[in-house]
Structure 1
Amino acid sequence: WSDLTQDSVGKKLSGHQQVLLSPYLAASCAFLTHLALCAPFLVLDALGGVCQRVRSWRIAAGSGPPPSLWKWYECFWRVLFKYATAVLPAAAVFQLLRSPSLPELAPSCWRLSVEVVACFLLFDTFFFIWHYCMHRVPWLYRAVHQMHHQHHVPFALAAQDASSAELLSLLLLALGSAWMLGCHPLSEALFHFLNSWLAVEDHCGYNLPWALHRLLPCMGGAPFHQTHHKKQRNNFAPYFTHWDHLFGTYIAPQSHFRKRHDRTVMK
């Protein structure tokens, strides 16, 4: 009986490992996670037409009403198509090439925290350089990045609404950051999850009272990134603000929005 039980447990563990090591799991989870994280903002956008409190959370400067459900619907199919035709196959190939294995032990809380923070700092650096280049090199902007800037006022789902080339480049930056640091698979998974959340929050169009940038001054948040979508010459880093400060490309979102609002009121 003991041998049968061990056999059964061994088969279950083997089956679970096969699922976890599937080349299609990472990209599929990334897409579903992105949708799940966008869902609360879809509710907020739907409530925005009837609830004054929700409208007061929207970022100012003439951002207008929340995006319609039709806009969400169109964006969903564009993102789904890019994932199915580009991200999923590329992620599968990358997973097969690196032949990952699952360690027996989980990382300590300290190692988990250090690796996740290090991943974000490295990814933020790579993203800043790549993003700056896409805006400064005309053919790169037209071929890779322009599609993402069709949204002058972004919303949550639009975080992934970009060209296939841009989605693949960001996938490479995220996977490359974790690979260069030699992260534990659990640290890498947590990094990708939090990366998805921060990307959604950056594009949500709301300056929420509980947003992370209100708690951590080093974070830019949605106002910081919405300024980039409006001006396109500043605030190139995805999450932190130190690189923009260092290279003189930082602009304070509040002052920008206040000036725009004041001009609107004067008119």
Structure 2
Amino acid sequence: MSGRNTSEVHILCSPGQLFLQPLWDQLRAWDSLTQSPLFAVLFSITTYVGFCLPFVVLDVLCPWVPSLRRYKIHPDFSPSARQVLPCLGQTLYQHAVFVLPLTLLHWARGPAPWPREAPELLPLVRHVVCCLLLFDAEFFVWHVLHHKVPWLYRNFHKMHHQNSASFALATQYMSAWELFSLGFFDMLNVTLLQCHPLTVLVFHVLNIWLSVEDHSGYDFPWSTHRLVPFGWYGGVTHHDLHHSQFNCNFAPYFTHWDRILGTLRSAHAK
């Protein structure tokens, strides 16, 4: 984009857009990458692995740094290479064999050009929160069904529960059906809300981070569930109980659906 065009966009932007416009201009400058059919897969893989790596390093250090154990939900557990590598391999395999072909098919229809203007900040935040709430509700229903119907659990969801004590790279250790289901919910919500492409990227980054944190096995003072008031957000301790007890805490993030339907169990009650 030329300096003149950038100036014109800035004149037309509202104050809320001006806050995000420099970031959006930088992203649009990389259009050779962002408009590539490989972008979605590369973005997903690098974001996911990038969020997992700090926890992998902590797992390696934990046996040698006893002070780290105070933050582990299972202090005596450290994932072995025989657990970690299959999880990473499953993620890479599914993205190469399933996600990439679908991305190429979608791109072949013609990539949608990104708008010149950035979204306003408040609508971006509102859309991201709405996407998280919608995803939370959709996944709650999906999750309950896959635990209550033995055939669904045995054929599609059991794989994710093979590691009772979670670790970061086990987040996406799941069947192809589960991966597609979660991806479908993601894309359905951003499409229904007609989200700006920058909003979509922010939502995907936040969604990946929250899912990795929920499976990380570490409960830090700055963990998300400690930052959200009134117990509205379950977090890592909430999800760890689901993996150990199976019949509670089905919502991935928030607690209201489990509270309403009587499936909420507190980590303090454990």
Which bin holds the TM-score, normalised by the shorter protein? Answer: 0.7 to 0.9
Which amino acid counterpart does residue 138 of structure 2 have in structure 1?
Answer: F
Following superposition, the deviation at residue 25 of structure 1 comes to 1.0
Give the letter for the 2:134 counterpart: L
SS in 1 for 2:171: helix
Matched letter for residue 44 of structure 1: L
Matched, 1:236 2:250: yes
**Which of 86, 91, 107 is equivalent to 2:119?**
107
Tell me the amino acid that sits aligned with residue 233 of structure 1: N
Once the two structures are TM-superposed, the CA of residue 97 in structure 1 deviates from its matched residue by 5.2
1:129 aligns with 2:129: no
User: Which amino acid counterpart does residue 124 of structure 1 have in structure 2?
Assistant: D
Aligned residue number for residue 131 of structure 2 = 119
Structural RMSD (CA) = 2.2
1:195-253 CA distance string (max 9 Å, x none) = 00000000001111110100103111111001000111110111111111011111002
Runs of at least 5 residues in structure 2 that lack an aligned partner in the other structure: 6-26
For residue 28 of structure 1, report the CA deviation from its aligned partner: 1.9
SS at match of 1:210: coil
SS where residue 190 of structure 2 aligns?
A: helix
| Alignment partner of 1:34 is 2:48 | yes
In structure 1, what residue type is equivalent to 2:71?
W
Deviations 1:83-118 (A, max 9, x none): 111122223334555853311100011111111111
1:195 to 195, 203, 207: 207
Quick check: 1:19 aligned with 2:30? no
1:55 aligns to 2:60 (yes or no): no
Residue pair 1:154, 1:204 contacting (<8 A) in 2 also: yes
Match of residue 74, structure 1, among 86, 97, 100: 86
Residue aligning to 2:24: none
Percent identity of the aligned residues? 40
Residue equivalent to 1:143 = 155
- What letter corresponds to residue 51 of structure 1 in structure 2? V
Report the AA paired with residue 182 of structure 2.
Answer: L
- Taking the aligned partners of 1:96 and 1:125, their CA distance within structure 2 comes to 32
TM-score (ref. length: structure 2): 0.85
For residue 197 of structure 1, what is the amino acid of its counterpart?
Answer: W
1:46 to 47, 60, 66: 60
Counterparts of 1:86-101 in structure 2 under 5 Å?
86-96=98-108, 99-101=111-113
Matched, 1:85 2:59: no
TM-score for both structures, normalised by structure 1: 0.86
CA contact (8 A) 1:223 1:254 kept: no
Change (3 A) 1:124 1:179: same
Give the 3-state SS of the residue equivalent to 1:233 in structure 2. coil
1:74 deviates by: 2.6
